[in-house]
Amino acid sequence: MRYAIRASFFDFASQPEQASQASQASQHARYLEEGLLLINQGKIDALIEWKNRDQFPEWQDYTFYDLRDKLIMPGFVDTHIHFPQIGMVGSWGEQLLEWLEEYTFPAESEYHDTAFAERMASTFLDQCLENGTTSALIFGSVHQGSTDALFAAAEQREMRIIAGKVMMDRFVPQALCEEVSESYQQTKQLIERWHNKGRLHYALTPRFAPTSTPALLSVVSQLKREYPDVWIQTHLSENPQEIAWVKELFPEHPHYLGVYHHYGLTGPKSVFAHCLHLEESEWQCLAQTHSSISFCPTSNLFLGSGLFNLRKAHQHKVKIGMGTDIGAGTSFSLLRTLSEAYKVQQLQQYSLSVAEAYYHATLGGAASLSLDDKIGSFMPGKEADFIVIDLAVTPLQKLRQSRCRDIWEKLFVLMTLGDERNIRQTWVNGRCAFQRHESLA
């Protein structure tokens, strides 16, 4: 359980004091061309320059790996992803509301079968690890058994996840529609069984306002009061038709976010996915309540939903994490997701820097989930979740990397040309949980 790894390292040794300073992430970045990472019982002991290794003579008693030709960075943090949608990724031709009816609800209906859910949970989490994702905020299905299966599979892999059973009681097929009392009881049981068990946490998960009656939202609010340290995750302002629908269903509230805020569902552990068409007062509410946003560029483009305004988030000091949003998103890879994020910002005349991009996928993502005291960097005492990266696994990558002048160019090429093939190993809680080849030593 004690390892010493020699390699190149990239992380953020500190983080911006305010979310509005994320664009200045390069000032907090740390790159060691030759470093030594010391891991003890799943925690980071130290990250030091290789030339200073004699300051820690005990490293020679650790199991040693020489990975000089590899780059190691903290594991990726996916702040919005749907477990029961893995089987419908790449479904053609619809926008959000039609896509839910045509593809999503039928796919999620399959998860009433717990044995099926158990098989899919293993596939889902293995895909996360293969793509370098070590922590995630995850939507389950409406079924209690499938959520148990997800947590059990994550516990087996020692992953730090936050997840929850979807709650919804209207405008969905009968097979997915809950009674409010049933939703309350099953969610309560899941919280008691899994929340804060090892590296597992629970998130109250109302799908979105249209599928939630006021009675259901009141129950979510009640559960938050009963268990104040749980997270909340839902969708917000993804699609213009969705927003218009919310205004019809909840005319007494000032805007879409106002529905959630009325029920006490905003706050430091509340994460709202998408947020593409917010009113100014909604931005202000997110900032004042210290809520977070999950930026999901791949799914936003795939469903034609819109372009996320990252500059606006900075102006309002709102924390941001990156989300693959499987299955509207088309890849588990946060490298591919960052590539799409860069393009989305280019369309709005904002040049997303390399440092800011990787910050949002690692330490910034952890901060958006209130987990930055545990994961996201190589600071001593943090959990040893990290990925071993080969910067050049294709002929084009090899050519392009050979022409890079510094680490920033190398990381940008990785972000724009890279994918899961670049992830050589994924370590979780101080052990190797995924390995693309038999040996790296």
**Residue 23 has what pLDDT?**
78
**In the numeric block, which tokens belong to residue 54?**
């004699």
pLDDT at residue 440 tops 70: no
Does pTM surpass 0.95? yes
Cβ–Cβ < 8 Å for 168, 178: yes
Name the phi and psi angles at 291, rounded to 5.
-75, 165
**Residue 316 has what pLDDT?**
96
In tens, the pLDDT along 192-243 reads 999 999 999 999 999 999 999 999 999 999 999 999 999 999 999 999 999 9
Query: Hunting for tokens 């990266």 — which residue is that?
Result: 389
pLDDT at residue 441 tops 80: no
- 274-311 burial, b at 16+ Cβ within 10 Å, e below that, comes to bbbbbeeebbebbbebbbbbbbbbbbbbbbebbbbbbe
- Computed over every residue of the chain, the mean pLDDT equals 96
Residue 25: CB partners within 8 Å, gap ≥ 6? 12, 15, 16, 353, 355, 356, 358, 359, 364
**Residue 1 has what pLDDT?**
86
**Residue 341 has what pLDDT?**
98
Q: Rounded to an integer, what distance in angstroms lies between the CA atom of residue 23 and that of residue 346? A: 15
From residue 51, alpha-carbon distances to 2, 35, 47, 393 in Å are 20, 8, 12, 29
**What mean pLDDT comes out for the span 254-277?**
98
Cβ–Cβ < 8 Å for 271, 137: yes
Fill in the amino acid letter for 139: F
End-to-end C-alpha distance for the chain, whole angstroms: 16
Task: Give the pLDDT band of residue 260 (cuts 50, 70, 90).
Answer: very high
Q: What percent of the chain has pLDDT over 70?
A: 99
pLDDT at residue 438 tops 80: no
pLDDT at residue 20 tops 80: no
Q: What percent of the chain has pLDDT over 90?
A: 94
pLDDT at residue 19 tops 80: no
Strands 133-139 and 160-164: parallel
Query: Hunting for tokens 């996840």 — which residue is that?
Result: 161
**What mean pLDDT comes out for the span 67-92?**
96
Helices 144-157 + 180-194 axis angle, to 10: 20
Q: Rounded to an integer, what distance in angstroms lies between the CA atom of residue 1 and that of residue 254? A: 54
Q: Rounded to an integer, what distance in angstroms lies between the CA atom of residue 110 and that of residue 108? A: 5
pLDDT at residue 405 tops 80: yes
**Residue 22 has what pLDDT?**
79
